[in-house]
Structure 1
């Protein structure tokens, strides 16, 4: 539990307690929100008001537990939040996400981060959670050294770009040719229309004569989800959370994607097709924070292209199709994730993306005493 420190104790340590009750959320929210801006301002040009609103909304989530380091004069000098995540069909199926880590610059290098982590780890154990995910701002070398020393391993990197550059611009370099995709069928009980919220401009940019890029249709879902197995094999190299390849989980995934597709204003899926077979896909969702277009973000998942079709600009063309929706959806900000793939990082950089934040992971059980000793320092 937390206790308040007098001013003389601050020079050596700050005690972080598990302030997870409603009172802590209500009283600490405003102070915490003001501090959390500091690291987040470099990631967005939306301004402090939107960030503050987003942070306060996040900690109002009943699944989020905010932790604070507080001085005797009730000054918040450090924060982090912990959220439980569920991953149906994966092994493990649950994890705790540690985020919003912020320490007042005046009180850094005093062990406050480790004290906050110790409280959060105790909380995760009380929830019977072992896998810990963590995100932090890309380029923060001090944070990276801290997490590495605690045994966290990089898992996913996310890049960001403000203002969409559409698929017919320099974002998709030449040589790019155009292929006319098969016409979309009319809605009927046996087939589905385009699963995108707005009609894409045709023809879509395609990388070669034998590959076309088009909106995904209902009948594509089985093939797309089948590619998830290849994608999962790749993810196993860098990520602890991968779908279990069983018939049951594959079926559950198909239905989950189908339900997501019904939210046509929020979920997008495009496919790469060659001689009737799906050889790649790209998906994204639209996150909103208020009604203003500047507060809408297109969050793109890692693009998957079958190995035989790589290095042929198929991935760029898939992403270009997603971007072509930005103007129609009023999206001015794009986030694009990748799983430790250097070529993917290079592609994102070439398209004008800059590093945004990094996800890392560890497990409490595997690190055991080592982790406890590092956190206690």
Structure 2
């Protein structure tokens, strides 16, 4: 399958650079995954497509201010780090720019010495294993020195860090936000609960894959980076009971979907578990866990467009994207949303 089959024309001015003041003010394109029929709604209308007993599955990962700017201790060269994954003993896997300047033993100074990083291993694709030394609490220092790791297509500065965080973000560990969840407010979530819909939380820490374009010609040759996920006994119970009762499971965002489908394909049902997933979902994939999907509009030729196409059909999805462009929907992380039913 050729990667170019998932390409589409997108004017630059439709890439949302800043979040809307009101999280729920975004538009909602609703598409029937079987017929391809499209409706144009507002995001709070989502509640009209949910029934009592259905389950809305949200990813409660919390983004860390993972972008650090420092200098190489011996030369003063400017170095940028994007923290990707915490390992042990204050050691992190990080994406480094320019990577060629950082070898094993290289030391990087941040915040006039409040934080020091030492490269202990060179990895592939510009990644390095960095060991940090500091006085105090690491995440407090990171809050002070780090910046939110906005995707490269966002050029504007983010005035409020919390706007790149879901209102239910809880478990620290992501290098990027699960952006489909940015549309929810506490008030909307409460309305959904009061309508009899169950809300459960899973965790998937978003890593390098979010920033990594597909660089091969054939879809099947692309490799996903592994990301950590966790699903509790309580969440598994609610999802399984809903499935047994014939209710729908609605995944909010591709990260929730990848977590649920990883578990369903591994165990044959939803079970409490944690681990690492590098699942790659593209057309031909058989969905086992979700019935509906809430998602944003994604980059051309991205693994996320492929995942959505596997769920609702490539022709339907590309037609929906073409319609969204004509109707001037806002795209990507701070953009509008889709509901696939």
Same fold (TM over 0.5): no
Bigger relative CO (Cα 8 Å, ≥ 6 apart) = 2
Larger gyration radius, structure 1 or structure 2: 1
Q: Greater helix share, 1 or 2?
A: 1
- With the shorter chain as reference, the TM-score category is under 0.3
